[in-house]
Amino acid sequence: MNVGLRATTAVATASLMLAALAACGASEPVPETTASAGEGATSYPLTVGNCGQETTFDAAPQRVVSLDQGSTEILLSLGLEDRMVGTASWTDPVRENLADANATVTRLADEAPTYEVVLGADPDFVTASFGRHFAQGGVADRDRFAETGIESYLSPTDCDGDVSINGGGTRTQPLTFDALYQEIRELAQIFDVPSRGEALVADLEARRQAALEGIEASGLTVAFWFSDLKTPYIAGGLGAPALLAGEVGAENVFADLADDWPATTWEDFVDRDPDVIVMADLSRERWPGDQAAEKIEFLTTDPVTKGLTAVAEERFISLHGAEMNPSIRLVDGLEALAEELRPAQAAA
């Protein structure tokens, strides 16, 4: 049983095979004569309950800033690029099918922008995948945006009831794909393109079902490692990677930890000795170990880690960072993970 490092073409190949499953194909934005023309299906004023706050929209937003790659790729998939005046917080290149649309949108910052930079884009709406942008020390809290007439929206994937997970809360309920689909539908409704939202959800769900065909619980144990060589940030038991593990029938060895990405020690990692290590391959260079090649070099040379079962048997799987976050790229990650684990499960 040997799981190799994922080839760079894995997701592209899987996407081509699955393109016929849905009319939109592989999360393509819905084509329209005018990219973001409304459908006239949303009744305004529209009030949306969102992570403990209510926001009322008198009309569809015209100038949106997206503070995370995840929310950016949803908006682009809905064909709303001509309403977007800025993006920020990128871990990876944009999804290939969205590259042309994304090229027309200003990138305000590779990481989180300042409040002043966001204001400089003159938005009427700000979206975020992670509540840290609206918390103390982030871009600005939601009330501050509201004071200047800017409405805001936080992904339901970051909400546990009325509390933001990345805004200081702790997840108590496991993440589900339903929360991602809720985000897509709500944004589509806010922008008066609900049919595009339904088409995108149908496409993602068809791909999810196809990826899981023939996958069974195998008893394989996995650890998800995002970054940092000294104190590795690994996935806890309730967030996006835990959802991926459950979908493919594997067991997350850090399932007892509630935080989405807690820091641990290598001694603890070695004690749990996973069968497979799933690692983020990030395009950013913020910390040593952001890239998969750096991670593998460390694991195979460090005296503490080189004896791990996954290291000795080269059971590494590489995913883009965006594929380990709660976004449409989570389905890409599921496809890649299922494809890599199928031979291992057959041998188990």
Size of the chain in residues: 348
Cα-based distances in Å from 130 to 133, 165, 228, 277: 6, 8, 20, 25
Contacts of 71 (CB under 8 A, 6+ apart): 127, 128, 129, 155, 183, 187, 327
**Which pLDDT does position 38 carry in this prediction?**
87
Distance (Å, whole) CA 97 – CA 214: 28
246 phi and psi angles, rounded to 5 deg: -65, -40
Amino acid 129 reads: S
User: Which pLDDT tens digits describe the chain residue by residue (348 residues)?
Assistant: 444 444 333 333 333 333 333 334 455 554 443 456 789 999 999 999 999 999 999 999 999 999 999 999 999 999 999 999 999 999 899 999 999 999 999 999 999 999 999 999 999 999 999 999 999 999 999 999 999 999 999 999 999 989 999 999 999 999 999 999 999 999 999 999 999 999 999 999 999 999 999 887 678 999 999 999 999 999 999 999 999 999 999 999 999 998 999 999 999 999 999 999 999 999 877 778 899 999 999 999 999 999 999 999 999 999 999 999 999 999 999 999 999 987 666 555
Query: Residue 343's pLDDT is what?
Result: 67
Query: Measuring CA to CA, how many Å separate 238 from each of 32, 114, 242, 259?
Result: 38, 30, 6, 7
Q: Which pLDDT belongs to residue 32? A: 46
Strand-pair partners of 225 = 234, 279
Cα four-point dihedral sign 151, 97, 19, 240:
negative
Reduced to 3 states (helix: H, G, I; strand: E, B; else coil), residue 281 is strand
How confident is the model over 212-244, as pLDDT tens digits?
Answer: 998 876 789 999 999 999 999 999 999 999 999
At a CB cut-off of 8 Å and minimum separation 6, what does 313 contact?
1, 2
CA-CA distances (angstroms) from residue 123 to 37, 86, 151, 157, 193?
A: 18, 8, 9, 23, 19
Nearest Cα neighbor of 233 from 326, 325, 329 is 325
The amino acid present at 306, given as its one-letter code, is: K
Contact between 318 and 281 (Cβ < 8 Å): yes
Please report the domains of the chain, with CATH numbers, ordered by start residue: 10-17+217-347 (3.40.50.1980), 42-191 (3.40.50.1980)
Q: Model's pTM, two decimal places?
A: 0.88
E strands present in 61-215 = 64-66, 84-87, 125-128, 151-154, 159-160, 163-164
Cα 293 off chain centre by = 21
DSSP states of 124-142 as a string? Answer: SEEEESSGGGGSTTSS--H
* C-alpha to C-alpha distance for 303 and 281, rounded to whole angstroms: 23
Alpha helices in 108-176 (DSSP H): 115-120, 142-147
